[in-house]
Structure 1
Amino acid sequence: MTNKNMLLMGTASLLSLHAAAQNDPKPNIVLIMVDDMGYSDLGCYGGEIPTPNLDNLAKKGVRFTHFCNTGRSCPSRASLLTGLYPQQAGIGMMSEDPHSAEDHGVHGYMGYLNRNSVTIAEVLKEAGYHTYMSGKWHVGMHGQEKWPLQRGFDHFYGILSGACSYLQPHGDRNLTLDNQQLPPPEQPYYTTDAFTDYAIKFVDERPKDDNPFFLYLAYNAPHWPLHAKQEDIDKFVGKYRKGWQKVREARLKRMIKMGLVDKNWDLAQWEGRQWSELTEDEQIELDRRMSVYAAQVHCMDYNVGRLIKYLEEKGELNNTLLIFLSDNGACAEPHREKGFGTIDMINNPNEWVNPSYGLPWAQVSNTPYRKYKVRAYEGGTSTPLIISWPDKYAKYNGEIRHNRAFLPDIMATFIDAAETTYPKTYHGGNEIIPLEGASMLPILTNTDTELHEYIFGEHFDNCVVWWKNWKAVKDQNSKVWELFNLEKDRTERVDLSRENPKILKQMVNEWNKWANTHYVYPKGK
């Protein structure tokens, strides 16, 4: 064989490989978000609540230890869906709810997704994806132009508001199917099950073509109220009588063993009483509250397993990119030991707020980090995140990634996986704010990848900036900034602002630049 023929064969082989790569089918994309779940609630993040399906997903994928959220549900969802900071997308404070418009008259605080942003569904639809959503929307509801089908989804089933009864969504916190509001569901009913039913239904009934699908499954679990199926509650009652501190310490030991946290970090400061100071009746009540919360998490995991099993049976799991995360840290509202309401309100289908599990259990859920939902400390802004894509990343076998990433990176990751582009204009020629995120896929293969020099945040005057190993925080109850070295002290026990004034000044200056260019100011009315 001549050298010329060998060269031609080599060129042909390369062209064949390139053509095969070009013809690789685009992956299906599944995004699962849970609501108000703490950092350590899952088994694969150190929790005692049985979550075998997510644990198994993590074993075959990659877990992130330092994924940042905005501190609260609606701005997190705005950031997640658009790839922007929440103020850029129009939801810097709260989103519209049934009796609140939340429009403060300025770009950053409109209370719904604006038309200078695009959703993941809108971007992936342009790339040929079928797009489905089931669950909690909470990024605009007053006017159908703000609903999921008008923001890129082919089908939607769920709630438009921020919370509802798990057992019978009704009234102005009712269910919606596509663009039709539904009457209260027949009993028995449970949102976590129903959201999964419709997610599977939408995927199963999609058009019979070769196009991939995008599914956004947004559970309301384990957000208050405490509503769970009795058979799930029975699995946990009595198991939390050991008390807050013992559960927390056991979680920490498992997290250290798993490599999720550094053994040299102290637990964040405890804010409540010791369990031994409670009366027996108080212990029984607080065990009950945590048992129902655990049941909500356990049922959510069971339903994730249902979806995974469906995809496996259809032969579609291997080429499915799946990301699982929580929208913010665990919820301590109303910041009392026993939470909202009384335990006789548990499983009252007419309740959509009462009861909740209280501040101390939220601290346990966020083990080992400081504070909880809304606040800019790590307990509020740290999210458990799992990425699975068996065809591409099964070889990483449950590895952990400590690289820092944040919500806008999910849009960028999906754009990368779908081999598509982010638009400069949309919605009839509206100029679209440039994407803030970066694809996380390089992190999976190269653990030295740094996606962002700085990450910023602000919500209700809880201000934060991350840079290298440093984090600066200005709490809602303070006028001064604190500084923490997260490599040595991610539980934020030691404020180093006095020892490192130059670093703090630099970080605060960068935060101010960001705030003044990303619609944090003006705040509006």
Structure 2
Amino acid sequence: MKKIIRISVLLCVFPALSILAERPNIVILLADDLGWADVGFHGSEIKTPNLDSLAQAGVQLKQFYVQPTCSPTRIALMTGRYPFRCGGHISVLRPWHQHGVPLDETLIAQVMKDAGYKTAITGKWHLGLARRAYWPTSRGFDLAHGCLGGAIDYFTHEGYDSLDWYDQDTIPLHEEGYSTDLIGTRASKIIIDHNFDQQPLFLYVPFNAPHSPYQAKEADIEKYSHIKDENRRIYCAMVDSMDQQIGNIIQSLKSKEVLENTLIFFASDNGGAGNSINLPYRGNKGTPYEGGVRVPSFIHWPKGLEGGRDFDRPLHIVDLFPTFTELAQGDIAKCKPLDGINFWPALAEGKAMPKRDIIHNAKDARGRGSIRSGDWKLILSKPERAPDGMPVADGKLMAELFNIKDDPYEQNNVVHQHPEMLETLWGRLKKRAPEIVSAAPYIARAPEGWEAPADWSNAPE
């Protein structure tokens, strides 16, 4: 009895201990190819009231970075490590590729599961398809629903003429409905069915919206009939539909009376593509400019985080692994060295952020890639065309240097004014070269004679 009293007194004096004593449920919501300016809380005409409400009540992350494309960002999220460490830094995984996230990498779901969490995913995986060993239920998820690859048809759930829609990875699911709705419905069901008194929940909801193909329900498209461009009109409807399902997920958390102690994180996997709007930032998906790697993001946790504010220090998606596993009291001792940092003391308590570089990409030993260090950002492209020394060829500068604090829209390349900063940052990129694992051969187009199976359920172990 005395021990209970002592603990109660401690919790009254140090309220932060009560948060750790009751670990949060964690829900990660990931959009696919969502533009910076395509959410209401960034001024969009697209109706996103549920995202807006969460963002305004939570903490908006104003400088949250990801990788320029899909699979690399998901590798960074799942491993807490930059994708160049496992050869996943070049581009997305295609269904004819025989590789996936290496099996000696520990994924966040495995740490959460070992910490006592129920782990579940519904949505787009895109981290390896050819072998079952790469699939979610082999990588720490108790429950899995959705597609293993990318760019599926929203209504038929086929990709590359193959059914790509599963329950528990291996069971082909001929499920009628719009994929965004089905993902949201399954997420809500996972929440409703879960016994929160027995264990906390780690739920990963990677929507495939608003990635192409551009498809939406007629009722949602009609809301944007005033938009002349048909593809933009459909895109807006796709984002709207995703927001509706996020609203249903929130209602499910409320109905189970666990919203207060649920940490909800939201971001896009990269900047927006064709029909999106990334303004005022430069660039889009696939580029290292801010429009390709800075994405709309927030954290909402009523019980554990003071909301209604912005957080303007640079973060990267690799930071989620150490931060969330620490909150979950997970053990990362078996993980390979993490690139991410635990940003919670800075976010929740206003403490100083550790100094570090953010690597938007690192491609080769010559220093090709992009790095953010403090306020400075360096982009190096096509150095193979440049002579030794400064990456300059035919009078055209291959290096771009920006001060993001003064020039967040990357309009003024100041590399000539600051050659010392070019040398410093370029040197830091080149120092990463020994850490870069050679990428598996990237084959953008299917090899001659390759045919997708009717579904992937017979994939080898």
* TM > 0.5: yes
Whole-angstrom distance in 2 between the partners of 1:475 and 1:96: 22
Q: CA RMSD in A?
A: 2.4
How many positions carry a matched residue from both structures? 420
Q: Identity of paired residues, percent?
A: 32
| Mapped contact 2:71–2:127 kept (Cα < 8 A) | yes
The residue type equivalent to 2:294 in the other structure is S
Whole-angstrom distance in 2 between the partners of 1:374 and 1:23: 39
Match of 1:293 in 2: 235
Relative distance call for 1:418 and 1:169 in structure 2 (3 A) is same
Secondary structure at the residue paired with 1:214?
A: strand
Whole-angstrom distance in 2 between the partners of 1:144 and 1:446: 42
Deviations 1:361-402 (A, max 9, x none): x4xx10111111111111111111110100022x332x1111
Whole-angstrom distance in 2 between the partners of 1:420 and 1:210: 17
Whole-angstrom distance in 1 between the partners of 2:93 and 2:433: 23
Whole-angstrom distance in 1 between the partners of 2:250 and 2:196: 20
The residue type equivalent to 1:157 in the other structure is H
1:179 paired with 2:169, answer yes
Match of 2:252 in 1: 310
Whole-angstrom distance in 2 between the partners of 1:486 and 1:447: 22
Secondary structure at the residue paired with 2:251?
A: helix
| Mapped contact 1:236–1:295 kept (Cα < 8 A) | yes
Tell me which of 366, 373, 376 is aligned to 1:470. 376
Moved more, 92-101 or 50-59: 92-101
Secondary structure at the residue paired with 1:196?
A: helix
| Mapped contact 1:96–1:142 kept (Cα < 8 A) | no
Relative distance call for 1:115 and 1:523 in structure 2 (3 A) is closer
Tell me which of 166, 178, 191 is aligned to 1:203. 191
Whole-angstrom distance in 1 between the partners of 2:225 and 2:376: 41
Match of 1:281 in 2: none
- Give how far 1:421 is off: 2.1
Match of 2:433 in 1: 515
Match of 2:448 in 1: none
Whole-angstrom distance in 1 between the partners of 2:12 and 2:413: 58
The residue type equivalent to 2:307 in the other structure is Y
Match of 2:414 in 1: 496
| Mapped contact 1:157–1:177 kept (Cα < 8 A) | yes
Unaligned runs of 5+ in 1: 1-8, 102-110, 242-286, 333-356, 425-431
Relative distance call for 1:499 and 1:422 in structure 2 (3 A) is same
1:116 paired with 2:104, answer yes
Whole-angstrom distance in 1 between the partners of 2:435 and 2:300: 35
The residue type equivalent to 2:140 in the other structure is G
Whole-angstrom distance in 2 between the partners of 1:92 and 1:294: 30
The residue type equivalent to 1:151 in the other structure is R
Whole-angstrom distance in 1 between the partners of 2:183 and 2:11: 45
Relative distance call for 1:61 and 1:100 in structure 2 (3 A) is same
The residue type equivalent to 2:284 in the other structure is Y
| Mapped contact 1:403–1:447 kept (Cα < 8 A) | no
Match of 2:307 in 1: 396
1:485 paired with 2:391, answer no
Whole-angstrom distance in 2 between the partners of 1:148 and 1:25: 27
Whole-angstrom distance in 2 between the partners of 1:15 and 1:206: 28
- Give how far 1:433 is off: 1.8
Secondary structure at the residue paired with 1:369?
A: coil
1:83 paired with 2:25, answer no
Secondary structure at the residue paired with 2:63?
A: strand
Larger Rg: 1
Secondary structure at the residue paired with 1:384?
A: coil
| Mapped contact 2:84–2:435 kept (Cα < 8 A) | no
Q: What are the residue-to-residue correspondences of 1:152-167 with 2, within 5 Å?
A: 152-167=140-155
Whole-angstrom distance in 2 between the partners of 1:488 and 1:34: 29
Whole-angstrom distance in 1 between the partners of 2:195 and 2:8: 36
Match of 1:60 in 2: 57
Tell me which of 123, 142, 151 is aligned to 1:135. 123
1:450 paired with 2:361, answer no
Whole-angstrom distance in 2 between the partners of 1:12 and 1:291: 55
Secondary structure at the residue paired with 1:80?
A: helix
The residue type equivalent to 2:168 in the other structure is D
The residue type equivalent to 1:182 in the other structure is P
- Give how far 1:294 is off: 0.3
